[in-house]
Structure 1
């Protein structure tokens, strides 16, 4: 009996030593060159600055084999810079695969300042797990071609995310029917009048209906994006992204979270 116990202890120690040797530190996947690097001590990634995580090589291999969550950012002339740039940083740091789409591949101008070259047009954009729309000077002008495009992708999209008056695009597509939503504070009444089937709230940073998330204006998009990261990848992933961005304003679970309408 003693011999069996001793052999079991030796095997346990050997297994623990093997696992310890297999442990290393890796950068959270951020789609940069540092995704392939291995580190022998904790700390920030020297390339992107994100906090290194300890994993076994097998765990890392499994994580890297997972298909990244894809996010389609629809951008239009006059789009508000921070409306899309804030959430873009959040999703990027959290390891999501973000791409931009517009009506055509022609350059668009954000707030008359920033020239943007879309990755895709509506005609050739790939499917995405998340569809995101944003506000700005031209946000009320989502025409029928854009609305039809949204409708054509509804069945193959898991989540819909809007910032500021980007909610008007989803309202026109019927995605906000019988749901609760919010938007930029100066456009609350406009959203109410335009979409009487939608319950529109003011004084809330974001509203989560399950698979439809709308946020208030500009900076509130960062809060909504962090909430969606926490929802899809866990609160620690959102906290790491917020810390990396030095966004100490974020309060987890802030906003209105409703049940229902969640896709499996």
Structure 2
């Protein structure tokens, strides 16, 4: 009988020790990691303490393990840049830097694949409106926009993107292009500060606001002039990936002028 009691005591002791070890192990399970802000070269690396990324030198940021896992499985986003000859360089170069840093796929489209010119730079678009792939986001830009607005083939193509694109973004006087395609009908918009009154006259069914960095109608975003396109692009990244992710993009490109609340968000549901 004593031997039976001794065996039971030993079993209970072993269970207690084993349970305590298991509990200790559970309490030390890692639920957060340190990661490099998106830079394209080491986005999938994790580290167990704060500091500098040994590969790119950027300051590591803390992120929950679940959020990091979600980041690895993010749905890819394709962004179509419609670019016309005489486009304003920073209008598209700024948002392009934001979206590529965010890991989005960029395609450039124009009416044809002929060489385009802007601010002393020449380049060839990847696609024409005849063979452009479907995109999640369509972005249009300012500069020499008059010929684009008058081109019925281009405007028809842009209007047709409403059947496939989830978001539209205009930078500067690119708002005229969206307006001509009817995308700004009964919407609120903004544009380059010298064009506020002219845009309002051109599209009386659109409410045009001055002194507004960007206006978000839900899935249609317009921005003020030139550098404001960076703010609009970061805002769209925030909508798709969250504010912390957008902040890390701003940090990566060293854009310290982004103030999320500086824009007007009319519909937070999308």
TM-score range, shorter chain: 0.7 to 0.9
In the TM superposition, 1:66-105 aligns within 5 A as: 66-105=74-113
Which piece of structure 1 moves more, 230-239 or 172-181?
230-239
TM superposition shift of 1:27: 4.1
Aligned to 1:239: 247
SS in 2 for 1:72: strand
SS in 2 for 1:218: coil
* 1:153-202 alpha-carbon deviations (Å, 9 max, x no partner): 11211100000010111101110000000111111122111111101111
TM-score (norm 2): 0.83
Aligned to 1:226: 234
Which piece of structure 1 moves more, 186-195 or 60-69?
60-69
Cα RMSD (Å): 2.8
Aligned to 1:11: 22
1:201 pairs with one of 182, 206, 209: 209
Distance 2:112 2:208 in 1: 32
In the TM superposition, 1:127-206 aligns within 5 A as: 127-136=134-143, 138-142=144-148, 143-206=151-214
Larger Rg: 2
* Aligned length in residues: 257
Which piece of structure 1 moves more, 158-167 or 90-99?
90-99
The 4+ residue runs of structure 1 with deviation greater than 6 A are 55-59
SS in 1 for 2:255: coil
Gaps of 5+ in 1: none
Which piece of structure 1 moves more, 243-252 or 154-163?
243-252
Check whether the contact 2:139–2:169 (CA below 8 A) recurs between aligned residues.
yes
SS in 1 for 2:262: coil
Distance 1:85 1:25 in 2: 30
Aligned to 1:120: 127
Distance 1:54 1:255 in 2: 27
TM-score (norm 1): 0.85
Distance 1:150 1:47 in 2: 42
Gaps of 5+ in 2: 1-11
TM superposition shift of 1:139: 1.1
